[in-house]
Structure 1
Amino acid sequence: MTTLISLLGKGKHDPETGYKTARYRFDDGSVREEPFFGLALARQIQPQRLVVAGTAGSIWDVLLQHQAAADETVLQLMEAVEQESVTQALLTSCEPHLSRQLGRPVTCLLIPYARNADEQVAILQALASVIAERESVVIDVTHGFRHLPMLALVAARYLARVRQVQVEELYYGALEMSAAGETPVLRLGSLLHMLDWVESLATYEKDGDYGVFAPLLEADGMDSRQAALLRQASFYERTGNPVQAQQKLGSVIESVKNHGGALGRLFRDTLARRISWFRKGNRSDWERALGNAYLERGDYLRAATYLYESNITRATLLRGWDSNDFTDRKRAYELERGEDSKELEYLRNSLCHGIRPMGNYTAQHLQSEERLKSRLEQLSKATEQ
């Protein structure tokens, strides 16, 4: 079920002519003339339900303009609008009128003016209270105070995260762009996709999972097979297989760098830099770069694991043996293992298995995050080639 959420603002009412109308042109060429864009949009997209959110002084009576003038509820609403004293109870009593008039269930939601953080939070909570979980919604940000569209954007993301709502589109009737007697209707859903990219960057910075970009790149026009390579590379990296990850990244990096999608162009250079570790030297260098990257993010288990494996790889390569062979790696490490390497091994085992580390010197570094991070940084530098 699709629900249209429309913001209702204030307007000037002329006793002779009523509220000023606009001719809204949609991208399919159709034109609908209404004083309130939400009505035009409802007739255009035919939602199953309409939620109208407005303040105590919004032009609620414009929604009931076709009702009989003698209707007591309508007269009460018109008077309340004039005095900017509309109440939720009065709006609720008008909902049956509106539902019959518009041919679909209508919910009227009284919201504050969003003058401060408390009122802004109250608006988000009010919207969440009338939207079902996993419902599909379209949001109209045309009317209302000029700061409300910004809040509507936050509301779209809030509903998506808290109520698992699918926000299909944002609409704006751009009255200031009117020409030749018509007002263009803008679709602003790309703003939500931009936020998806920003959130994915934050996710990557937190846990290093660049696989979150794969569906975004695919939606932005990247070949699905190339996007899949990025997802696979992330999987291999995060499961301790830098060789396979390096191979996948080598196959997809040019597609990332040359991606021409509208949204991807904003982020491709940043993403390419984030995955550039695979260009560093040999396997030992890859593992050390990954260890240091995870250390910066506070992922101490992966950091210690990759730094530990880097030492093993380096020892194997120094012997001229196969760094991908388990037996060669084990023999080389036993021959080359120094005190710093042993401490890395102990820290890695303690973090992995949750056991008491060997030696008091190692144990003290697990007493606080600051000590552990500092010691891992020291061990990384001490065991560099």
Structure 2
Amino acid sequence: MTINTLISFLGKGKADPQTGYRTATYRFDAGFSRRVAFFGMALTEYLKPDRLVLVGTAGSMWDVFFERAGDDDAMLQLMAAVEAGEVTQDMLDLPRRELARQLGMDVDCLLIPYARDAGDQAEILRLLAGVVQPGECLSLDVTHGFRHLPMLALVAARYLSRVVGVKVEQLYYGALEMTTPEGETPVLKLGGLLKMLDWVDALATYDKDGDYGVFARLLAEDGMAKGDADLLTRAAYFERTGNPVRARETLSTVFSSVEAHRGALGGLFRETLKKRISWFRRGKRDDWELSLADAYRDRGDYLRAATFMYEAFVTRACNERSDDPTDFELRKKSYASARAQQPEVAKLEYLRNSLAHGVRPRADQEARTLDDEGRLQTMLKSLRNKLFKP
């Protein structure tokens, strides 16, 4: 069974001498609002999670959940520690038990450092990872923490998703500074920031390995027809299996959908995506293949770079002889004829075969080339300049 967990950050509030936080009426939607001092309590009632995790520092308002009048020794000790900024993890057993009783759910209280430096910040991520399990669905409340903690919470959401395997559903913020003249404080959902990070991740993935299929799911979630979005995955498959003709056909079909897309996030990244898939518009087949060779060389995928450069040479040889570049036997004949005129292409053929089969060339100079990335880059660029003169 999926566990739904709310992680709520506690800050250090002094606006109200009794509650610590200023009481506000938080408006979630047309049918739900609550007037509370601590936003996390209203959010807990709204979401009805299975579990609540309260996160705060040694100076956070851990006593905000209790009446400040009383003579309970543990309560007085906690209140004094909050005032002094000296709360310890052991002291948090009291608010944990009391809140679990009030809310009727599992509650954890997590003491974190102040995130003053990279060490503190990394420690917070480690502590958060220790209180969640793979498969949990998380919601994060960043209303009351220190002002720098929402930035860390955003990183934490991505970290927990990638490293632990949780699903972050939403980030919530009770925007007290946006309180209306009628006295209602809007509740903002900041999950769009996570979606933006998904797009940034997709761009990084594409730049690394050239798979623009990673944009398909994001475009579909952003409103593009799923059938159109899936064409990107199909085009990427054809390209990465050495079939630029089918890749071009598929891209030419979906490109107009990418151009016309006006989704909130897709529109933000549309021009960048168009630039990355526009190779199919360049000239003839040998131009497409050479463009792909350049792109794969630049991102360090040397086998594909050598393969597409070799295929571009063969295709160009077919074009010069007016042979059909899709006919395998004619490609062989055209290549043999062109090789006789440009023997330098043999180096490209040997290089492609060496990369494909993992066998080093016999010649010491060529073997040294494959043992050094800089030399390999230089050789590929040199072969391109010699074999594809303007």
Q: Look up the match of 1:157.
A: 158
Q: Does 1:321 align with 2:313?
A: no
Q: Structure 2: give runs of 5+ residues left out of the alignment.
A: none
Which residue of 2 is the match for residue 293 of structure 1?
295
User: Which of 43, 51, 54 matches 2:56?
Assistant: 54
Q: For the structure 1 residues 49 and 270, does the alpha-carbon distance in structure 2 shift closer, same or farther, using more than 3 Å as the test?
A: same
Assess, with a 3 A threshold, how the Cα gap between structure 1 residues 315 and 379 changes in structure 2: closer, same or farther.
same
Q: Which residue of 2 aligns with 1:121?
A: 122
In 1, the alpha carbon distance for the partners of 2:93 and 2:329 equals 75
Asked whether the equivalents of residues 136 and 165 of structure 1 are also in contact (C-alpha less than 8 Å), the reply is: yes
Moved more, 11-20 or 358-367: 11-20
**Displacement over 2 Å in runs of 4+:** 13-20, 63-66, 68-76, 358-364
In the alignment, which residue of structure 2 is the partner of 1:259? 261
Q: Distance in 2 between matches of 1:17 and 1:268?
A: 48
Q: Are 1:9 and 2:11 matched, yes or no?
A: yes
Report the Cα offset of residue 360 of structure 1. 3.9
Instruction: Please give the per-residue CA displacement for 1:303-345, whole angstroms capped at 9, x wherever unaligned.
Output: 0000011111111121111111111111111111122211100
**Contact in 2 for aligned 1:346/1:358 (Cα 8 Å):** no
What amino acid maps onto 2:50 in structure 1? Answer: Q
Alignment of 1:342-381 (within 5 A): 342-381=346-385
Q: Alignment partner of 1:108: what SS?
A: strand
Tell me if structure 2 keeps the 8 A contact 1:120–1:151. Answer: yes
The alpha carbon displacement at 1:19 in A equals 4.4
Shift of 1:382: 1.3
- What are the residue-to-residue correspondences of 1:327-342 with 2, within 5 Å? 327-337=329-339, 338-342=342-346
8 A contact 1:51–1:108 mirrored in 2? yes
3-state DSSP of counterpart to 1:64? coil
> C-alpha offsets along residues 143-192 of structure 1, whole Å, 9 cap, x if unaligned?
11111100000000110111011000000000000011110000000000
Could you report, residue by residue, the CA deviation over 1:34-80 in whole angstroms, capped at 9, with x for unpaired residues? Answer: 111111100111010000000111111112349x9344332322222
Contact 2:13 2:20 in 1 (8 A): no
Structure 1, unpaired ranges of 5+ = none
- Find the counterpart in structure 1 of residue 223 from structure 2: 221
Displacement of 1:362 in angstroms is: 2.8
What is the rounded CA distance, in whole Å, between the counterparts of 1:125 and 1:278 in structure 2? 45
Q: Shift in Å at residue 97 of structure 1?
A: 1.6
Match of 1:312 among 308, 311, 314: 314
Rounded Cα–Cα distance in structure 2 between residues aligned with 1:41 and 1:318: 70
Query: Are 2:100 and 1:99 equivalent residues in the alignment?
Result: yes
- Which of 204, 208, 213 is 1:206 aligned to? 208
Q: Take 2:85 and 2:365, find their aligned partners in 1: how far apart are those partners?
A: 71
**Mapped contact 2:360–2:370 kept (Cα < 8 A):** no
Structure 1 distance, partners of 2:258, 2:96, is 51
Match of 1:278 in 2: 280
2:79 maps to 78
Mapped to 2, the partners of 1:204 and 1:306 lie a distance apart of: 18
Which residue does the alignment assign to 2:169? Answer: 168
Higher mean displacement: 56-65 or 367-376: 56-65
1:200 Cα offset (Å): 0.6
Shift of 1:281: 1.0
> What TM-score results when the alignment is normalised by the length of structure 1?
0.96
What's the CA shift for 1:13?
Answer: 6.5
Inter-partner Cα distance in structure 1 for 2:14 and 2:230:
55
Tell me if 1:30 matches 2:28: no
- Residue 93 of structure 1: CA displacement? 4.1
TM-score w.r.t. structure 2 length? 0.95
Q: How far 1:16 sits from its partner (Å)?
A: 5.8
Whether 1:237 aligns to 2:245 is no
Residues 343 and 89 of structure 1: CA distance in aligned 2, closer, same or farther (over 3 Å): same
What is the CA–CA distance in structure 1 between the aligned matches of 2:124 and 2:145, rounded to whole Å?
13
Instruction: Give yes or no for contact 1:346–1:362 (8 Å, CA) kept in 2.
Output: no
Q: SS state of the match for residue 339, structure 1? A: coil
Identity %: 58
Distance 1:153 1:363 in 2: 47
Equivalent residue letter for 2:382: Q
State how far apart, in whole Å, the 2-side matches of 1:235 and 1:287 are: 15
Q: Which moved more, 1:350-359 or 1:17-26?
A: 17-26
